[in-house]
Amino acid sequence: MNEPLAERVRPRALENYISQNHLVGKQGALTHQIKKGILPSLILWGPPGTGKTTLANIIAHESGRPFYTLSAISSGVKEVREIIEKAKQSGGLFTTKNPILFIDEIHRFSKSQQDSLLGAVEKGWVTLIGATTENPSFEVIPALLSRCQVYILNPFGKEDLDALLKRAMEQDKYLKSKKIELKETEALIRLSGGDGRKLLNIFELLVNSEEGEAIIITDELVLSKVQKNTVLYDKTGEQHYDIISAFIKSIRGSDPNGAVYWLARMIEGGEDVKFIARRMLILASEDIGNANPTALVMANTTFQSVTTIGYPEARIILSQCAIYLATSPKSNASYMAINNAQQTVRQTGDLSVPLPLRNAPTKLMKDLGYGKDYKYAHNHPDNFAEAEFLPDAIAGTSFYEPGNNQRENSIREFLKKRWKGKYGF
């Protein structure tokens, strides 16, 4: 009974694995590869409790390969190299039975730790399976990421969670000794937040807290026994997107009170500090831009700070930044400018660069007119010489319209003096 329920009922074979049909169902992306035992190195990306570790173990079992596992929390470069040396002895290149090296929470590995894996993965000494709850694009070094396939695991749905509960009651010896009736499961499933491990932990807590053999699971019982409602904010489901949307719209709408409230909802729900800070970094450019260029500096400093500090102190920095952004003047002019320019590029294709703007590193290019008649701005009064910087087919097209705020009104006046009617100024 010392072993948690989630571990006691962990499936050992693919046919017993619940959920993730897009990966391991009949037509799943990994099903055929697992059966054949020929797998690329891969990263399993998904929220906690969605079966990443279980799937890695099943892959090793189904393929009959040696299986080594490391935790990024407790392992360093030394441990990685020791495992790789063991793997080289038991497998190697030109064999489909090369060992599997599973690294849990690979996003916690430093750059040097991830670098230490590159040679073994590239030379085929090991097949790497990394598990992460964080976006690999941000947390895994590009060189390692390019050598791996990324597969996304989704939060468990209601049917998956129901199936987990039923299987636990059917397979676990301790639970089978009880008379358990699942009368109501809405609160139990809602509190799990799509996390199978959390669901089973709460379920085990309920069973252990009740006297007698007969136990009736109701929503009232669940809420009375679980001290903290951990899914007022579901950071893996629909609410995750709704609340970050409300947060961003509050800042965009210049309401610091709304911004701080939705920020508090995310913090209380355990949202990743980097996710919140990353969204504010995007907003600082998209919704504030040149109306207050310091906003981008502030948001970037916030991202770096909270990444270093973490909770609980990071909440203060996040709050300061959210209030600063909410009370800044707003402009989406830069955002609209790049949208307009990209739309024009898609419509007009690869227009030729005008000859005066081309680079001329060789005599032949100079003879062909590359760079001819280019006006070097610093050789002219006020460091400005009027010229055409767009291809002939779209000459005079305006993409950027300064916003109506103090900073960009100054930009508009600057452009009017320079361009005297061109681009609509």
Q: Which among 211, 217, 215, 212 has a CA at the least distance from the CA of 199?
A: 217
The reported pLDDT for the residue numbered 275 is 92
DSSP assignments along 62-89, one per residue: HHT--EEEEETTT--HHHHHHHHHHHHH
Tell me how far apart the alpha carbons of residues 82 and 95 are, in angstroms, rounded to a whole number.
Answer: 21
Task: Assign residue 211 the CATH number of its domain.
Answer: 1.10.8
Residue 6 lies in a domain: no
Report yes or no: 306 and 318 within 8 Å, Cβ to Cβ: yes
Write out pLDDT tens, residues 134-162.
888 878 999 999 999 999 999 898 999 99
- Tokens standing for 134? 């964080």
Please indicate, yes or no, whether residues 119 and 197 belong to a single structural domain of this protein. Answer: no
Average pLDDT over residues 224-237: 57
Please indicate, yes or no, whether residues 45 and 95 belong to a single structural domain of this protein. Answer: yes
DSSP 8-state code for residue 227: S
Tell me how far apart the alpha carbons of residues 87 and 85 are, in angstroms, rounded to a whole number.
Answer: 5
Please indicate, yes or no, whether residues 34 and 110 belong to a single structural domain of this protein. Answer: yes
Alpha-carbon distance values, 379 to 99, 355, 370, 375 (Å): 65, 20, 19, 8
Cβ neighbourhood burial of 27 (10 Å; 0-12, 13-18, 19+): exposed
Residue 15 lies in a domain: no
Domain boundary among 94, 119, 152: 152
Please indicate, yes or no, whether residues 140 and 26 belong to a single structural domain of this protein. Answer: yes
pLDDT at residue 351 greater than cutoff 80: yes
Residue 189: HSE in the Cβ half-sphere, 13 Å Cα cutoff: 18
Please indicate, yes or no, whether residues 200 and 246 belong to a single structural domain of this protein. Answer: no
- Tokens standing for 141? 């070094």
pLDDT at residue 310 greater than cutoff 90: no
Domain boundary among 123, 152, 181: 152
Answer yes or no: pTM beyond 0.75.
no
Please indicate, yes or no, whether residues 33 and 143 belong to a single structural domain of this protein. Answer: yes
Please indicate, yes or no, whether residues 28 and 144 belong to a single structural domain of this protein. Answer: yes
Please indicate, yes or no, whether residues 148 and 245 belong to a single structural domain of this protein. Answer: no
Domain that holds residue 185: 158-225
Residue 40 lies in a domain: yes
Structural domains in the chain (count): 4
Residue 334 lies in a domain: no
Report yes or no: 158 and 51 within 8 Å, Cβ to Cβ: no
Q: Which of 3-7, 313-317, 359-363 has the highest mean pLDDT?
A: 313-317
Residue 332 lies in a domain: no
Please indicate, yes or no, whether residues 51 and 138 belong to a single structural domain of this protein. Answer: yes
Please indicate, yes or no, whether residues 135 and 163 belong to a single structural domain of this protein. Answer: no
Q: Measured in Å, how far apart are the chain's first and last C-alpha atoms?
A: 76
Average pLDDT over residues 283-310: 95
Residue 346 lies in a domain: no
The reported pLDDT for the residue numbered 167 is 92
Please indicate, yes or no, whether residues 176 and 106 belong to a single structural domain of this protein. Answer: no
Task: Assign residue 95 the CATH number of its domain.
Answer: 3.40.50.300
Domain boundary among 102, 130, 152: 152
Please indicate, yes or no, whether residues 52 and 133 belong to a single structural domain of this protein. Answer: yes
Task: Assign residue 265 the CATH number of its domain.
Answer: 1.20.272.10
Write out pLDDT tens, residues 177-198.
889 999 999 888 888 878 899 9
Residue 337 lies in a domain: no
Residue 164 lies in a domain: yes
